[in-house]
Amino acid sequence: MKVAVFGATGLVGGVMLKVLEERNFPVTELIPIASERSAGKQIEFKGKQYTVVTPDQGLEMKPEVALFSAGGQTSLDWAEKFAAVGCYVIDNSSAWRMDPTKKLVVPEINASTLTADDKIIANPNCSTIQMLVALAPLHEAYKIRRIVVSTYQAVTGTGKKALDQLNNEKGGNMEGDMAYPYIIEQNCLPHCDLFTENGYTKEEMKLVNETHKILGDPSIKVSPTAVRVPVVGGHSESINVEVEQPFTMSAVRWLLEHSEGIVVMDNPDNKEYPMPRYLNGRNEVFVGRLRADISNPQAINMWVVADNLRKGAATNAIQIAEYVVANFLS
């Protein structure tokens, strides 16, 4: 089938191409799409060269599936046009996430809510995806009451400009373009995205609002702090989750070990726990440091790590596309 990758020359677009190939997605014709200034560049996919085209050209080619990762305004401008020609659009931006007419999907949790009429499907924020993959099984078993989460987010979540800033600073060049208001090398910025009127950042509010929508439960209380750290690939999260029903830690561990998309990496005696440096390039969500909250008998602490460009973006989008193909296009 014809598959378009909108934003093919960007960081996430490049990972989408890798994941499409790794998962042997049924691509008969690739349509790499980017801005006018990138049109004409060559993209390699499965040993073949493809020419990057403009959005207008891509639309004329009528793909069956389009993976969008080119920013919110681009999605607002083009997603409905692609959907109008019969294309299923899986959008990685924030443009459609909170639109009540669009589904916000993490396949392990709520892919079954999709119908053939859902032509525009929203991919959640990277930090929300990995948190909810780890927490959804607990919500189903014990009903979550409150989540306190602090994120430690890689610079690749901001994009190429941020990665260039970090690399420049590592090399001693403090005069290059800056994606952040401060130096990021050897630093932590408690500031992801723009601040909102309530004092939280947009990134933090995504963790609140997207959790309510994906789990279908606005009663869950979420208290987030999002921090940018000088890591290239992989977000980490410290999560404290309070549940309503009684639990044992052995039952929690068993539940996570037997849930789709999760790898439990938790052996403190052997110093085994998830770390982004060693899990970059993996598609799973890794959970470690599992322990009962000694201050609250109804709460659990955990440490969750995932590759933000893979499960946090490209892999999740392609898993959605796989569900669409299997259920609506086969």
113: domain CATH number? 3.40.50.720
Beta bridge partners of 201: 195
CA 32, CA 29: separation in Å to the nearest integer? 10
Same domain for 143 and 290? yes
Residue 135 sits in a domain of what CATH number?
Answer: 3.30.360.10
Q: Residue 330, class by beta-carbon neighbours within 10 Å (0-12 exposed, 13-18 middle, 19+ buried)? A: exposed
Percent of the chain having pLDDT more than 90?
Answer: 98
Identify the three-state secondary structure at position 191.
Answer: coil
Please give the structure tokens belonging to residue 46.
Answer: 């499965």
pLDDT > 90? residue 175: no
Determine how many CB atoms are found less than 10 A away from the CB of residue 295: 8
Average pLDDT over residues 119-138: 98
- Contact at 8 Å (CB) between 95 and 120? no
Q: How confident is the model at residue 306 (pLDDT cuts 50, 70, 90)?
A: very high
Count CA within 13 A, CB hemisphere, residue 36: 0
Question: What's the confidence (pLDDT) of residue 33?
Answer: 98
Question: What's the confidence (pLDDT) of residue 330?
Answer: 81
Same domain for 249 and 142? yes
Same domain for 259 and 165? yes
Question: What's the confidence (pLDDT) of residue 188?
Answer: 98
Percent of the chain having pLDDT more than 70?
Answer: 100
Q: CA nearest 5: which of 24, 23, 30?
A: 30
Same domain for 300 and 177? yes
Same domain for 223 and 275? yes
* Alpha helices (H) in the chain, listed in sequence order: 11-22, 55-60, 72-84, 107-110, 126-142, 160-170, 202-215, 249-257, 276-279, 315-324
Determine how many CB atoms are found less than 10 A away from the CB of residue 208: 18
CA 179, CA 69: separation in Å to the nearest integer? 19
- Contact at 8 Å (CB) between 173 and 277? no
Same domain for 105 and 161? no
* Residues recognised as catalytic: 126, 235
Same domain for 229 and 303? yes
Question: What's the confidence (pLDDT) of residue 109?
Answer: 98
Compute, in degrees rounded to 10, the torsion defined by CA atoms 190, 196, 200, 206.
Answer: -100
Question: What's the confidence (pLDDT) of residue 206?
Answer: 98
Average pLDDT, the chain: 97
Same domain for 119 and 63? yes
Q: CA nearest 256: which of 196, 212, 300?
A: 300
Place of tokens 């401060």: 182
Q: What angle do CA 33, 67, 111 make, to 5 degrees?
A: 175
pLDDT > 90? residue 161: yes
> Residue 153 belongs to what domain range?
127-308
Q: How far is CA 298 from CA 42, 75, 168, 275, in A?
A: 55, 41, 46, 27
- Contact at 8 Å (CB) between 308 and 156? yes
Same domain for 23 and 118? yes
φ/ψ of 53, rounded to 5, equals -115, 165
Question: What's the confidence (pLDDT) of residue 121?
Answer: 98
pLDDT tens-digit series, residues 220-250? 999 999 999 999 999 999 999 999 999 999 9
pLDDT tens-digit series, residues 246-272? 999 999 999 999 999 999 999 999 999
Q: Indicate the number of domains in the chain.
A: 2
Same domain for 145 and 290? yes
Same domain for 110 and 161? no
Same domain for 39 and 131? no
Q: How confident is the model at residue 70 (pLDDT cuts 50, 70, 90)?
A: very high
Average pLDDT over residues 129-150: 98
CA 275, CA 300: separation in Å to the nearest integer? 20
- Contact at 8 Å (CB) between 213 and 98? yes
